[in-house]
Amino acid sequence: MIKLIEMDEKVTLFEQMDSQVAPVILINKFNVKEEQVQEFLEAWADDAKYFKQQSGFISAQLHRGIGGSCVFLNYAIWESSEHLKRAFNTPEVKSRLDRYPSTVVASPHLFKKVAVPGICVD
């Protein structure tokens, strides 16, 4: 089973899911051993197909670090934290976590866009 480590020690992912934010971005950093990359990619692809069918899912993209890195970053957009919470809090998702290599470490966290004048919009 995948090991989850909070990205922010002050607030958990589950606390964030109760925040009533819309839209919401899920960023999930994965540390994967080189010999388990293919197994990780298969599990992630299967999860992405499942979440793509859930209400409120907008999009997802997986990135891999360059230069021989085995760090992966998932960027997923949901209509709201409530949609993500409903999709995540199911027995199906809990069983899916068992499909990942046991050495994979994931750090999920929810974000919202921030407006910075002249740079980025909200």
Convert the pLDDT of each residue in 43-64 to its tens digit. 999 999 999 999 999 999 999 9
DSSP letter, residue 120: B
For the segment 68-75, the average pLDDT, to the nearest whole number, is: 98
For residue 8, is it within any domain? yes
Range of the domain at 39: 3-111
pLDDT value at residue 97: 86
For residue 122, is it within any domain? no
CATH number at residue 93: 3.30.70.100
DSSP letter, residue 94: H
Q: Checking DSSP bridges between strand 71-78 and strand 24-31, what pairing results, if any?
A: antiparallel
